C-alpha cells in the first residue's frame, strides 16, 4: 500500500465551555492512502465533524483548540504551520464538501465568481483560464449548460445542483485530501448515486484521498475501503469495510447495523440504543458507551478499554474481547439484552378504505409583468388517484420536486387543491368550507420533516400540544388536557416533566417525538408523515419507526408516508405509490414494487439505492459475556 496522504495520530480537539472542557475529539488515530476512502460513522454528537474541521484547520477559535496529537499531510505536520501556510493548504491541498450547501455558498456572488476565486487564489491563473477550468469542472460534476451556469446565483438552483457546485469548488484545485461531511444527506437517491460515482471517478483519476463522514451505513459499505466507528470522541472500532460488516465486534457497531431498516426486517421491531450520546463535558471515566451498552459489566464505567487489535487488522475498544478483563470479578454482567428482535407487525388485511383521492390536481399560477397577470400554471400535482385503508401505510416516493409534499398538504387541506375529490369517511374534504372542515381537523394530522421549524421556539412543549387540544377539543377541561399531554408524551417515549421545557432544550430525535405527540394528542385517524425520519441518525430513526409502528398497531392509525428513503419504505409501508412530475407512474404492494418493478422510473430509483449484502444481516450478533 502506498504511503498515506494523511496520517492522524492521537488527535485531541477540545472546547472551553461554561460547563467545563468539552473533549469533542479525544485521542483519534487513522490514516488514508492515496486514492483511498476512509469512512467515519457514528451518531450525531460523536465528534465526526469536529475531526473533519481539525484536519482542515477550521476549529472555531477561541473556544476550540487542538490539545494534542499530530496531523501529517504528505508527512508534514500541519498543526504547527503559520496561519498563512494553513490558508495555502485549505481549499488547495485539503478541501471540504460541507453538509449544507446553501449555507456554504455566498448568496451575493454568482457561482462562477465563487469557484474562480478559489482557482485564481491557489493556482495563480488568469481570469480567462480560471473560467475555462470552472466550466470544465461544472461539466465533470454533470451540471446542465455549464457556460450559462457560471452566471447563476445559488438561490436559483436545486439542492442537488448546489451540492454539485460545492463538489466542483472542492475539487477545482485537485486536492490531495477531500473531506466529504454528510455530502448526500438531504439528496434524492438518484442524485446521491451520481454524486458518489463522481467522487469515486475523480478519486481514481486524481488519486485524491477521501474522508467520508456519514450516518448512512449502506453508503459506507459501497464506497469505503476502511471504516472507523466513532463514539463520544473516540474510535470504538476500526477495520476494513468487508471485515466490519461481516464481523462487527463492538456492541455499538452491532446496534447501529441492526437499527438499519430494510425488507428483511419487515414485521419486526428495529434494534434501538437506549439513551443518548453523553455531552462531551461529562464522558464517563471508563468506556464511553458503558451506560447504553446491552452487554455492560461492573468494571466498564470505571476502566477504559484500549483500542486493540482483536483480529488481523481489526481494532476494537471493548472489554468483552479482552481475556484478562473477562477473568476478573468486575466482568460480572449488569445488563444482558436479548439478541432477538421482537415482532412488531400489523397484518395487512382487507380493511375498509378510510381515504380515497380521485383526480387530485394542485396548480400554482405563474404571474408576470407589472400587474402580476397569470400567464400559466405549474402543475405540482397533476391528476393523481390514491386510496388508503384503515391501519395501513401508503408510501409516496419520488425525487425532490415531483409533487409529493404538495400532494400530502392538498389531501389534508393545508393547500386547497385546484380540482379533484378527497373522500375521508365518504365526505369530500375539498368541498367543505373552513368551518365544516374544522370538525375533521382532529382526525387528520401531519408530522413535518423539520421538527425544529415546525415548533414555536417561544412556547413550552405543554403549550404547543395544548394549543391543538383547545382548538379541536373545546369541551375538554384544563385538568383533562394536562392529563392527555402527560400520557401522550409518555406514549412517544418522553417524560411528562418535559412538557415544561422549550424546543431548543431537546435533541433532534426528541423534537420529532414532540411533533408526533402533538399530532397524536387530538386522537387522529389519519396522519401524513412528510419526510418524518429523513434528518435523523439511524439509531434515532429506528426508535421513531418503531414508535410509529406501535402507535399504528395500538390505535389502528393510517399513514401517508412521504419520503425519498427507500429502505424506510421497504420496512414500514404496506403499499407504495411512485410519483414523477406530478403524476403517479406506478402503484402496488411494497413486496411487488421492490421485487418486480414495472415502470422504468421505478427501476431507476431502486437501482440507485445503496445496499448492504442481505446475507450479512443475520450475522450481526451481539458479543456474548463469556
Instruction: Give the list of residues 6+ apart from residue 591 with CB closer than 8 angstroms, or none.
Output: 263
Residue whose C-alpha is closest to residue 527's, from 603, 588, 608, 441 = 441
Query: 356-393: per-residue pLDDT in tens?
Result: 999 999 999 888 888 888 888 888 899 999 999 999 99
Task: Judge whether residue 266 has pLDDT over 90.
Answer: no
Q: What is the mean pLDDT of residues 340-364?
A: 79
Per-residue pLDDT tens over the stretch 147-204? 988 999 988 887 778 888 888 898 888 899 999 988 877 677 888 888 888 888 878 8
Taking the alpha carbons of 166, 167, 171, 177 in that order, is the dihedral positive or negative?
A: positive
440-467 per-position pLDDT tens digit: 888 999 998 777 778 899 999 999 999 9
Whether 350 has a pLDDT exceeding 80, the answer reads no
Query: For residue 419, is pLDDT > 90?
Result: yes
> Is 325 in contact with 303 (CB distance < 8 Å)?
yes
Tell me the pairing of strands 558-563 and 393-397: parallel
Tell me the pLDDT tens digit for each residue of 568-592: 999 999 999 999 999 999 999 999 9
Nearest-CA neighbor of 565 among 542, 596, 583? 542
**What cell was used for 114?**
465563487
Over residues 304-325, the mean pLDDT reads 95
> What is the edge-to-edge ordering of all strands in the sheet holding 314-316?
94-97, 177-181, 209-213, 37-41, 226-231, 234-240, 314-316, 308-311
State yes or no: pLDDT of 51 exceeds 90.
Answer: yes
CA distance 183 to 172: 17
Sole residue written with cell 396522519: 527
* Predicted pLDDT of residue 78: 94
Contact 440, 424 (CB under 8 A): yes
What was the pLDDT predicted at 118? 87
Assigned C-alpha cell, 515 = 411533533
Answer yes or no: is pLDDT of 346 > 60: no
**For the chain, percent of residues with pLDDT exceeding 90:** 55
- 44 falls in which pLDDT band (50, 70, 90)? confident
**How many other β-carbons are positioned within 10 Å of the β-carbon of residue 390?**
16
Helix/strand/coil for 554: helix
Q: Distance between CA atoms of 521 and 609, rounded to whole angstroms?
A: 36
Under the banding of pLDDT at 50, 70 and 90, the label for residue 267 is confident
Q: In terms of Cα–Cα distance, which of 23, 519, 69, 92 is closest to 280?
A: 23
Whole-number pLDDT of residue 345: 61
Cis bond upstream, residue 62 (ω within 30): yes
pLDDT exceeding 70 applies to what percent of the chain? 97
Could you read off the pLDDT of 236-259 as tens digits, one per residue?
Answer: 999 999 999 999 999 999 999 999
> Side by side, which strands form the sheet with 64-73?
20-33, 4-17, 64-73, 76-77
Residue 67's CB is within 10 A of a number of other CB atoms, namely 15
Q: Are 41 and 237 in contact (CB under 8 A)?
A: no
Whole-Å CA distances, 282 to 44, 277, 293, 455, 591? 16, 10, 17, 29, 46
pLDDT score at 190: 83
| Contacting residues for 412 by C-beta, under 8 A, at least 6 apart | 429, 444, 445, 446, 528
Q: Residues 190-210: pLDDT tens digits?
A: 888 888 888 888 788 888 999
In the prediction, which pLDDT does 54 show? 95
CA dist., res. 179 & res. 522, Å (int): 46
Instruction: Assess whether pLDDT exceeds 70 at residue 46.
Output: yes
DSSP H helical ranges for 59-212: 83-89, 101-104, 111-123, 127-140, 146-149, 159-171, 189-206
Mean pLDDT of the chain, nearest integer: 89
How far is the C-alpha of 500 from the C-alpha of 395, rounded, in Å? 35
Helix (H, G, I), strand (E, B), or coil: what is residue 157?
A: coil
Whether residue 555 is predicted with pLDDT greater than 90 in this model: the reply is no
DSSP for 272-306, please give it.
Answer: --SS-PPPTTS--SS-TTGGG-TT-BTTTTTSPPP
How far, rounded to the nearest angstrom, does the alpha carbon of residue 303 sit from its chain's CA centroid?
A: 33
| pLDDT at residue 347, rounded to an integer | 60
Name the pLDDT band for 480 (thresholds 50, 70, 90).
very high
Question: How confident is residue 213, by pLDDT bands cut at 50, 70 and 90?
Answer: very high
Joined grid coordinates for residue 164: 454539485
Tell me: pLDDT of 616 over 90.
Answer: no
Indicate the pLDDT class of residue 625, thresholds 50, 70 and 90: low
How many angstroms separate the CA atoms of 304 and 301, rounded? 8
Let me know the angle formed at the C-alpha of 261 by 256 and 263, rounded to the nearest 5 degrees.
140
3-state secondary structure of 139: helix
What b/e readout covers 407-422, taking b as 16+ CB neighbours within 10 angstroms?
bbbbbbbebebbebeb
What DSSP letter does each residue of 219-265 carry, written as one string?
HHHHH-SEEEEEETTEEEEEEEHHHHHHS--SHHHHHHHHT---GGG
In tens, the pLDDT along 493-552 reads 888 999 999 988 887 778 888 999 999 899 899 999 988 887 778 888 898 899 899 889
Q: Are 452 and 489 in contact (CB under 8 A)?
A: no
Give the domains, in start order, of the chain with CATH numbers.
Answer: 1-93+175-258+270-341+612-626 (3.40.50.300), 108-170 (no CATH), 347-443+524-595 (3.40.50.300), 452-523 (no CATH)
Residue 583's pLDDT is 94
Q: pLDDT digit string (tens) for 97-139?
A: 887 766 788 999 999 999 999 899 888 889 999 999 999 988 8
The Cα 114–Cα 393 span in angstroms is 45
Gap between the Cα atoms of 325 and 295, Å rounded = 14
Amino acid at each position: 500500500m502506498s504511503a498515506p496522504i494523511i496520517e492522524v495520530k492521537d488527535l485531541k480537539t477540545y472546547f472551553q465551555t461554561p460547563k467545563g472542557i468539552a473533549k469533542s475529539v479525544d485521542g483519534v488515530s487513522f490514516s488514508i492512502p492515496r486514492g483511498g476512502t476512509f469512512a467515519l460513522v457514528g451518531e450525531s454528537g460523536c465528534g465526526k465533524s469536529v475531526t473533519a474541521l481539525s484536519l482542515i484547520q477550521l476549529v472555531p477559535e477561541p473556544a476550540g483548540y487542538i490539545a494534542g496529537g499530530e496531523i501529517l499531510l504528505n508527512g508534514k505536520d500541519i498543526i504547527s504551520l503559520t496561519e498563512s501556510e494553513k490558508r495555502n493548504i485549505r481549499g488547495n491541498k485539503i478541501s471540504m464538501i460541507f453538509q449544507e450547501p446553501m449555507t456554504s455558498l455566498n448568496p451575493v456572488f454568482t457561482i462562477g465568481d465563487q469557484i474562480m476565486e478559489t482557482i485564481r487564489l491557489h493556482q495563480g491563473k488568469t481570469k480567462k483560464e480560471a473560467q475555462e477550468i470552472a466550466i470544465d469542472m461544472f461539466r465533470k460534476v454533470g451540471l446542465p449548460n455549464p457556460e450559462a451556469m457560471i452566471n447563476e446565483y445559488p438561490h436559483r438552483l436545486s439542492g442537488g445542483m448546489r451540492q454539485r457546485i460545492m463538489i466542483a469548488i472542492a475539487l477545482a484545485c485537485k486536492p490531495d485530501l477531500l473531506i466529504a461531511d454528510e455530502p448526500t444527506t438531504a439528496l434524492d437517491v438518484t442524485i446521491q448515486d451520481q454524486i458518489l460515482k463522481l467522487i469515486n471517478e475523480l478519486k481514481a483519476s486524481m488519486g485524491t484521498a477521501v474522508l467520508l463522514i456519514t450516518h448512512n451505513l449502506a453508503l459506507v459499505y459501497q464506497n469505503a475501503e476502511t471504516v472507523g466507528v466513532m463514539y463520544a470522541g473516540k474510535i470504538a472500532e476500526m477495520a476494513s469495510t468487508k471485515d466490519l460488516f461481516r464481523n462487527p465486534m463492538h456492541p455499538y457497531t452491532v446496534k447501529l447495523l441492526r437499527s438499519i431498516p430494510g425488507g428483511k426486517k419487515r414485521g419486526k421491531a428495529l434494534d434501538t440504543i437506549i439513551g443518548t450520546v453523553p455531552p462531551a463535558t461529562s464522558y464517563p471515566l471508563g468506556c464511553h458507551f458503558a451506560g447504553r451498552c446491552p452487554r455492560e459489566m461492573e468494571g466498564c464505567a470505571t476502566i477504559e478499554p484500549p483500542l486493540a487489535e482483536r483480529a488481523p487488522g481489526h481494532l476494537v475498544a471493548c472489554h468483552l474481547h479482552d481475556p484478562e478483563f473477562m477473568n476478573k470479578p468486575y466482568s460480572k454482567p449488569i445488563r444482558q439484552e436479548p439478541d432477538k428482535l421482537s415482532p412488531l407487525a400489523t397484518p395487512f388485511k382487507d380493511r375498509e378504505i378510510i381515504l380515497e383521492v380521485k383526480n387530485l390536481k394542485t396548480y400554482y399560477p405563474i404571474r408576470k409583468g407589472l400587474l402580476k397577470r397569470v400567464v400559466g400554471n405549474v402543475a405540482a400535482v397533476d391528476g393523481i388517484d390514491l386510496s388508503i385503508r384503515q391501519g395501513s401505510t401508503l408510501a409516496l416516493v419520488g425525487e425532490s420536486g415531483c409533487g409529493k409534499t404538495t400532494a400530502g398538504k392538498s389531501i389534508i387541506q393545508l393547500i386547497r387543491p385546484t380540482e379533484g375529490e378527497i373522500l375521508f369517511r365518504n365526505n369530500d374534504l375539498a368541498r367543505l368550507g373552513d368551518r365544516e372542515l374544522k370538525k375533521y381537523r382532529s382526525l387528520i394530522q401531519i408530522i413535518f420533516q423539520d421538527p425544529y421549524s415546525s415548533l414555536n421556539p417561544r412556547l413550552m412543549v405543554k403549550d404547543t400540544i395544548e394549543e391543538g387540544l383547545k382548538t379541536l377539543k373545546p369541551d375538554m377541561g384544563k385538568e383533562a388536557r394536562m392529563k392527555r399531554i402527560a400520557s401522550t408524551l409518555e406514549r412517544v417515549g418522553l417524560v411528562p416533566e418535559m412538557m415544561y421545557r422549550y424546543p431548543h432544550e431537546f435533541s433532534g430525535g426528541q423534537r420529532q417525538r414532540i411533533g408526533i405527540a402533538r399530532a397524536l394528542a387530538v386522537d387522529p385517524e389519519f396522519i401524513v408523515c412528510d419526510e418524518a425520519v429523513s434528518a435523523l441518525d439511524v439509531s434515532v430513526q429506528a426508535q421513531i419507526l418503531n414508535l410509529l409502528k406501535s402507535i399504528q398497531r395500538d390505535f389502528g392509525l393510517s399513514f401517508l408516508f412521504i419520503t425519498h428513503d427507500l429502505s424506510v419504505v421497504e420496512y414500514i409501508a404496506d403499499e407504495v405509490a411512485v410519483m414523477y412530475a406530478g403524476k403517479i407512474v406506478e402503484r402496488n404492494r411494497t413486496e411487488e414494487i421492490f421485487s418486480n418493478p414495472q415502470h422504468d422510473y421505478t427501476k431507476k430509483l431502486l437501482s440507485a439505492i445503496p445496499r448492504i449484502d442481505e446475507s450479512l444481516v443475520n450475522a450481526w450478533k451481539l458479543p456474548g459475556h463469556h
